[in-house]
């Protein structure tokens, strides 16, 4: 039995290496140890971390920064639940991380950014890098220091060569994508004026939609996040000056005022938002949406009608950035979440397209000013046959 299990494990390891070798590569972790003295630490007090692949050739002075996602914690209980995981401690993060898609180092798979310096910043604060609470509760020993982490990591990268950047692109997925929108102008300020700086948010455009039960669950949740992490002071003043700082966690209230060029990549049927904003467990106590959320093909006609309504709300929320000369858009009618970090959706023969344009080409054309890119799919699910609709395990 031991021999058989070892054989299976060896086979899985070899298969993983083959897949990574074909489409990606492993990058080691870097701990920002000097950030601890600045109080820039994860929830458990450990130093922040990132994975960096150095640029080469003509890309040595170009930088691509990707902020990791991973939802949020909105109170001491939920933050404690993350404290001893990779989302709350750099001690629990893997030492090697696979880079592919947007982070690929192969021109075939990533033609515009393959030889750039590529950095994936790990997420361990639970606030989309916005928190800054000086006091540490002795009962929990939790540190809410997301904004300090962002600042410390950028400082570290500047010292490692980003201060000489010709081009820089701040990107992120999910909670990291939201962070990109919230920090885009700050990132611009931290880099030399001679650097061409743009930002790209993947699956970070969360909308203030009610649940299937008619409740404002996500608004209340974000309110708790802002309160727990004392995030208000670190959110864009162009938004907080208008009133309730909680509303600044919804990009529709922030993105139109972002002055640095910003690209929004999102699925109109964002699978995370359908599962956690439209139909969270608290609004579906009997689990009638369980199968539908895992696989959109399992949705009933009534559920599909609700999801189509969510899409309409999403498209209405995105209108604030339509037509802006500094904004790029790629909004497809797919049931997915985060499409830049996986090779199958970033650039492959069968990857998603809008008007025969891949996500990779859309972002590249926009960044390098090869043309205006504001693509919004006008048809409803299941019209787009190029989609890689997510199917989740239980």
Edge-to-edge strand ranges of the sheet holding 49-53: 96-99, 25-31, 49-53, 117-121, 62-67, 167-173, 196-202, 262-267, 327-332, 374-376
Query: In the numeric block, which tokens belong to residue 19?
Result: 């897949």
Question: Measuring CA to CA, how many Å separate 100 from each of 23, 133, 292, 309, 384?
Answer: 6, 35, 29, 34, 24
Annotated active-site residue 174? The verdict is yes
- Which of 240, 226, 150 has its CA nearest to residue 189? 150
Q: How many CB atoms lie within 10 A of CB 194?
A: 8
Torsion, CA 33, CA 25, CA 360, CA 376, rounded to 10:
-70
- Which of 270, 288, 294 has its CA nearest to residue 381? 270
Active-site position among 156, 270, 284, 384: 270
The CA angle 20-23-24, to the nearest 5 degrees, is 60
Work out the burial of residue 231: count CB atoms within 10 Å of its CB; fewer than 13 is exposed, 13-18 middle, 19 or more buried: buried
Q: Cβ distance 231 to 245 under 8 Å?
A: yes
DSSP 8-state assignment for residue 274: I
Q: Cβ distance 143 to 241 under 8 Å?
A: no
Residues labelled as active-site residues: 174, 270, 337
């Amino acid at each position: 039995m031991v021999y058989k299990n070892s054989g299976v494990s060896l086979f899985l390891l070899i298969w993983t290496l083959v897949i990574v070798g074909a489409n990606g590569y492993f990058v080691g972790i870097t701990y920002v140890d000097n950030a601890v003295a600045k109080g820039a630490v994860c929830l458990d007090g450990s130093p922040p971390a990132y994975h960096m692949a150095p640029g080469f050739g003509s890309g040595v002075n170009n930088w691509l920064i990707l902020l990791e996602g991973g939802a949020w914690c909105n109170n001491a209980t939920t933050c404690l639940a993350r404290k001893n995981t990779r989302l709350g401690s750099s001690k629990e993060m893997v030492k090697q991380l696979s880079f592919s898609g947007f982070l690929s180092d192969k021109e075939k798979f990533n033609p515009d950014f393959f030889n750039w310096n590529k950095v994936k910043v790990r997420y361990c604060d639970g606030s989309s890098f916005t928190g800054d609470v000086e006091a540490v509760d002795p009962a929990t020993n939790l540190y809410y220091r997301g904004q300090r982490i962002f600042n410390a990591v950028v400082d570290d990268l500047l010292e490692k060569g980003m201060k000489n950047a010709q081009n820089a692109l701040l990107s992120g997925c999910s909670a990291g994508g939201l962070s990109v929108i919230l920090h885009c102008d700050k990132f611009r300020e931290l880099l030399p004026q001679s650097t061409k700086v743009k930002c790209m948010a993947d699956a970070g455009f969360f909308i203030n939609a009610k649940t299937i039960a008619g409740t404002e669950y996500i608004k209340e949740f974000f309110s708790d996040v802002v309160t727990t992490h004392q995030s208000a002071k670190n959110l864009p003043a162009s938004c907080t000056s208008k009133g309730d700082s909680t509303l600044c966690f919804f990009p529709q209230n922030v993105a139109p005022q972002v002055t640095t060029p910003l690209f929004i990549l999102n699925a109109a049927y964002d699978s995370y938002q359908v599962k956690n904003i439209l139909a969270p467990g608290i609004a579906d106590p009997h689990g009638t949406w369980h199968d539908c959320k895992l696989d959109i093909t399992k949705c009933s006609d009534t559920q599909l009608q609700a999801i189509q309504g969510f899409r309409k709300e999403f498209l209405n929320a995105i209108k604030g950035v339509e037509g802006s000369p500094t904004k790029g858009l790629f909004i497809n009618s797919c049931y997915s979440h985060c499409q830049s970090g996986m090779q199958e959706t970033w650039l492959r023969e069968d990857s998603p397209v809008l008007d025969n344009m891949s996500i990779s080409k859309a972002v590249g054309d926009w960044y390098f000013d090869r043309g205006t890119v504001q693509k919004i799919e006008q048809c409803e699910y299941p019209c787009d046959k190029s989609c890689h609709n997510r199917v989740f395990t239980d």
